[in-house]
Amino acid sequence: MVVIDHGNGRSALYAHMDSIDVAEGDVVEQGQKIGTVGSTGDSTGIQCHVEIFEDGVRKSLHDYFPDA
């Protein structure tokens, strides 16, 4: 998995990845490839698993993508 710290208490977790193209401590830019989707761990198929956290509390993705 990859966790990106966006600052101000906000972070994003990406899991079940087939490959990871960044390393701990890397600074990433918007639009940069961090890895590829996959079906690792306890997943049921290829997916893009994303979780958003604010101050350590997991938030609903519907708060960020209300039309999805």
Band the pLDDT of 36: cuts 50, 70, 90.
very high
DSSP line for 2-66: EEEEEETTEEEEEESEEEE---TT----TT---EEEB--SS-SSSB-EEEEEETTEEE-GGGT-T
Q: Which of 24, 14, 25, 10 is CA-nearest to residue 56?
A: 10
Residue 67 confidence (pLDDT): 86
What does pTM read for this prediction? 0.85
Find the distance separating the first CA and the last CA of the chain, reported in whole Å.
23
